[in-house]
Amino acid sequence: MPQILDEARTRELIAEVDRTYVDYGASPVVHGTRNDEIEQLEKRAALAGLRFVSVPIRHMGTERCAEIMRAMRDELLRRGVQILQRTPVTGVRADRGRVVGVETAQGDKLDSQFVILAPGREGASWLKEVSAQLGLSLARNPVDLGIRVEVPATVLEPITDLVYESKFIYYSRAFDDKVRTFCMCPYGKVTTEFVGDVVTVNGHSYADHKTNNTNFALLVSKNFTEPFDDPIAYGKSIARLANLLSGGVLVQRLGDLEAGRRTNAQRLMRSIVTPTLKDATPGDLNLVLPYRYVVSLLEMIHALDEIAPGVASRHTLLYGVEVKFYSCRLQLSAELETEVQNLFAAGDGAGITRGLIQASASGLVAARAILSRL
């Protein structure tokens, strides 16, 4: 969002969103505020070729997120807002360059002076189709594709106890590709995520119960050039290949990946890391991920091992694949208005944010623009 709004305005919106989540039940505890230990971690990361991004984190917990969303929904219902669930929208209606409403899968035409498109990452493909119908301009974001790493929680405790969710950025020596950590889940579980007709991997941390493991995503960000113009299809094609070989999600020991052999059930049983995703199928990520992705991911793992010894253990588990579907970005004004008048877009699916708090802040921008016109 800082690409559209200035950084100071973005910070103000994020602070307001944060206060709102606390009002509806989020934990008052904030991790990762600046101190001497964080500065030392930044220096150690730099020596390993990593950039550590220090940001305050308020952990809500997967199960508490549902409670917070429920409290927000109930408040809206009390205020007379009508919420239609299980009502897919198949198209956006516009007339002479101005939005006039939407059409649902049931064939209903709902009239509206204003519309906000906020489908989330899973709806990125839908948003691309709607954009084509309306003739909206799209820019290509990088394709974020990679794996989820699972290690014993003790390996990362010195970092997660300090900042909870750490964000590290690395540029590979072999290809100069950007690799980053994302969605670190201390004492969490690896989970599956269904995105249309493909299965990908994700992770959760819970507020009220813990596992013995910590997991996090490692994502390689790649920009593609013309004539390629469908990064979502590219990400899904890699996910489908993993699904084809495993029936869902693949898991492999790091030592097996580096030795060029697949992980089988016997080798997985010998791992000191007990997988939290029990349905993952032992296999070989070398058969799924492109070579340059594997090389860049392995470089990043060994760089992380320099600041958290044990990350590069041969027993570390790697799950694949993880894909973030926010690769198409709409052309938007500073109010997040599209090229169709009174049609706005917000959130990860529109390609302008990366995560819950930024997505929520973008919703504020669009809502306030609408209020100013009423």
**What pLDDT, in 10s, does the model give residues 249-280?**
999 999 999 999 999 999 999 999 999 999 99
The stretch 341-364 carries a mean pLDDT of 88
Token pair 């594997």 is found at 294
What kind and span of H or E run contains 18? helix 7-23
List where CATH 3.50.50.60 sits in the chain.
7-23+84-139+328-373
Per-residue pLDDT band for 182 (boundaries 50, 70, 90) equals very high
Contact in structure between 310 and 153 (CB atoms under 8 Å): no
Average pLDDT over residues 200-217: 91
Please report, as a single letter, which amino acid is at residue 28.
Answer: P
* Both structure tokens of 35: 């101190």
- When the pLDDT of each residue in the chain is averaged and rounded to a whole number, the result is 90
Question: Is the predicted pLDDT of residue 139 greater than 70, yes or no?
Answer: yes
Q: For residues 317 and 256, what is the distance between their CA atoms, to the nearest angstrom?
A: 10
**pLDDT, tens digit (0-9, with 9 covering 90-100), for 313-329:** 999 999 999 998 765 67
CB atoms < 10 A from the CB of 285, how many? 24
Encoded amino acid at 84, one letter: L
What are the pLDDT digits (tens) for 35-93?
Answer: 788 899 999 999 999 999 877 677 676 668 888 999 999 999 999 999 999 999 999 99
Neighbouring CB atoms inside 10 A of 243's CB total 20
What's the mean pLDDT in 118-136? 86
Given the DSSP bridges, would you call strands 115-117 and 328-330 parallel, antiparallel or unpaired?
unpaired
* pLDDT-based confidence at residue 301 (cuts at 50, 70, 90): very high
- Band (33; pLDDT cuts 50, 70, 90): low
Reported as type and span, the H/E element at residue 51 is strand 50-53
Predicted local confidence at residue 32, as pLDDT: 57
Which residues are registered as beta bridge partners of 51?
A: 169
Fold category of 7-23+84-139+328-373 in CATH: FAD/NAD(P)-binding domain (3.50.50)
Calculate the alpha carbon distances from 371 to 113, 300, 334 in Å. Answer: 12, 46, 15
Percentage with pLDDT > 70 across the chain = 95
